[in-house]
Amino acid sequence: MSHLHRIVPIAVLLVATLTPAAARTPPPQTPTTEELLKAAGTYLDAYATKISGTTLDELFILIELSGPNMQVPQRLYSDLVLLKIDVAGHLLGVRDPYAVDKKKLRAHDPRVTDALEHPTLASWAAVQGYGRENAIYLRANGVIWFSDPMTALDFISKPNQPRMTYKVEGSKKINGVQVYGVGFKESERPDTTYLLGTPDHARGSGRVWIDPATGAIHDTELWVDSETETARVHVAYTMEPTRSVLLPHEADGTFDERERGSKSIASGVNTKVGFEAHLTYSNPRYTPIDLTHIIAR
């Protein structure tokens, strides 16, 4: 046997010995459901305060898919103001339309943030009235109730976690960050006091995508079902670099309403009316707003 043949096994051994330990380190384990919920709950506590008073330009394209009086797609232009409305960190998006298609509804001024910069119960009541006065443009209760991009966050907040069941459902990269999906489902309640509070006791389920390192939520999926309504809403977030905060960037949804006593929308029968929505958000601006001292929940 030549000297060369005797050296080869030793060289292979040396390569294996000198391989960096990091290259042999197994990939990190998937975080547990409990770890993700804790991180997200802590994140939302701070997030609600940080974004309260953020205004976004919202373009809401609403398409009627089925119904007795189908109309052409509608473009609704609104200020969407994100507000923390109680000490528990509940977030609400207040939609204040200023134009529909080419029709101007009002002067495009920041009347919500103007009214709430120094809030009172009277100014809060006025702001709620702004949303009601133009609700007709959303055409159906389900669209009004479930199209707020903040709604899915309620199902992951600390005060509401005991009302849910959760499980980890995969991982992927969003905004360049490795995030993990946490599926949620609202537990059945004999008193039907579900989180969304609709007349027909709609129950929520869905999924949120969480960065385990920070608890930041990069994407949400909300699924709503009751005897008379079904909704599916997806919201994608992107980083707003000026304030280093994640904000809604775009959303899509479907909304169906049916007569009481009809079969599930999943069966494809007896649908009364159905809509599809595409929403985009842009031009964030910020006015600090604190409503926690005037609103009790």
Q: What percent of the chain has pLDDT over 70?
A: 85
Q: What is the pLDDT of residue 25?
A: 54
Q: What percent of the chain has pLDDT over 90?
A: 67
Q: Is the pLDDT of residue 154 over 80?
A: yes
Domain boundaries, the chain: 32-286
pLDDT tens for 101-142 read 989 999 999 999 999 999 999 999 999 999 888 889 998 889
pLDDT tens for 55-112 read 999 999 999 887 666 677 999 999 999 999 888 888 999 999 999 998 999 999 999 9
pLDDT-based confidence at 261, cuts 50/70/90? low
Is the model more confident about 224 or about 262? 224
Q: Is the pLDDT of residue 269 over 80?
A: no
Q: Is the pLDDT of residue 264 over 50?
A: no
* One-letter amino acid of 59: L
Q: Is the pLDDT of residue 243 over 70?
A: yes
pLDDT-based confidence at 266, cuts 50/70/90? very low
Q: Mean pLDDT, to the nearest integer, of 273-293?
A: 94
pLDDT tens for 172-216 read 999 999 999 999 999 988 887 898 998 889 999 999 999 999 999
Q: What is the pLDDT of residue 230?
A: 94
Q: What is the pTM of this model?
A: 0.84
Q: How does the average pLDDT of the chain come out, rounded?
A: 87
pLDDT-based confidence at 226, cuts 50/70/90? very high
Q: What is the pLDDT of residue 27?
A: 56
